[in-house]
Amino acid sequence: MELHHEFTVPVPVDDAWRALLDVERIAPCMPGATVDDYDGKTVTGSVKVKVGPITVTYRGTAVFEEQDESAHRMVLIANGKETRGQGTARATVTGTLAERDGGTAVSVRTDLTVTGRPAQFGRGVMAEVGDKLVGQFAECLARRLGEPTERTEPSEPVEPSQAAQPVQPVQPVQPVEPIDLLRTAGPPVAKRVAVAVATAVLALVFVRIRRHRHA
């Protein structure tokens, strides 16, 4: 399925371009995503998706096939596979940036192929969920771009009193919340998704009953 989304961020196009390539910086804005490694071209990580009581985790890589700074155009190819199942996800994402009223308009075209449990909801539901997720990402990105960039202060000699201070414990990393398809889709779409889930469950139960009778 093909999806198209647009959003704007309140910074010049060159700043937005650098920010979108700074994967570690924008990773917290990606719903359900965890970045394990990034070498400037290839991203390794996972995405969690929740469908009712079921949580599906896809692990894989995303590779920047194109980064045209002069045209402000990037192409990302992502591949993932369920960690506990046979489902797969593949996406070719093409992003273009353009100056608009002092800010930047971002256009994202996604050619998405999904197999497994999330695929049963079809293009309509996936498109509406995609709209909500892109909206959340855009809001988060705009907030982060508005934050001041951290600057490294020149090092100063440590006073004895400071050296004697106890070491503060490292805060544990908070687990990433999965993308909840039912909650993200909203009541009208969630109702259709719930019907689809219930139908699938009933069909599975019916098949098992028939197998049991034949046995």
Q: Where would I find the beta strands (DSSP E) of 20-158?
A: 33-38, 42-51, 54-68, 73-82, 88-100, 103-114
The backbone region for 115, taken as left when phi is positive above 0, alpha when psi lies in -120 to 50, beta otherwise, is: beta
Structural contact between residues 87 and 114, judged by C-beta atoms closer than 8 angstroms: yes
- Tell me the pLDDT of the chain averaged across its residues: 78
pTM of the model: 0.70
Torsion angle, alpha carbons of 159, 162, 163, 164, to 10: 130
The H or E element that residue 122 is part of is: helix 122-146
Percent residues over pLDDT 70 in the chain: 71
The more confident residue out of 35 and 195 is 35
pLDDT over 80 at 77, yes or no: yes
Structural contact between residues 43 and 170, judged by C-beta atoms closer than 8 angstroms: no
Q: What is the pLDDT of residues 87-128, one digit of tens each?
A: 899 999 999 999 998 899 999 999 989 888 777 767 777 777
Q: What is the pLDDT of residues 119-158, one digit of tens each?
A: 776 777 777 778 888 888 888 988 888 766 554 444 455 4
The H or E element that residue 185 is part of is: helix 181-185
What DSSP state is assigned to residue 164? T
Structural contact between residues 46 and 71, judged by C-beta atoms closer than 8 angstroms: no
Burial class (CB in 10 A: 0-12, 13-18, 19+), 213: exposed
